Amino acid sequence: MPYVNIKITREGASPDQKAALIKGVTDLLADVLDKTPATTFVVIDEVDMEDWGVGGLPVADYRKTLSKPSSV
């Protein structure tokens, strides 16, 4: 009985996108691990941007660093 917990930033993933994610993960577990879809649980948690960090920075600030050209 697999349980998959997916955490994404709260940025407006649509119900259709979430349904596709749930189906895709369920299908992957069925294909790769031969798990039964009826007993596979997928939970999507949406996390507020200010509660998510990457590389020691809030995710919004981290993303700003990605758009800056490097000085190489």
User: Domain containing 55 — which CATH number?
Assistant: 3.30.429.10
Among the listed residues 3, 9, 2, the one whose alpha carbon sits nearest the alpha carbon of residue 48: 9
pLDDT tens digit at each of 72 positions of the chain: 999 999 999 998 999 999 999 999 999 999 999 999 999 999 999 999 999 999 999 999 999 999 877 665
Q: Is the pTM of this model over 0.85?
A: no
Domain count, the chain: 1
End-to-end CA distance of the chain: 49
Q: Which among 2, 15, 37, 58 is annotated as catalytic?
A: 2
DSSP 43: E
37 a catalytic residue: no
Residue type, 64: K
Q: What is the pLDDT of residue 72?
A: 58
**Assigned domain for 72 exists:** no
**Assigned domain for 46 exists:** yes
**Cα 33 from chain centroid?**
20
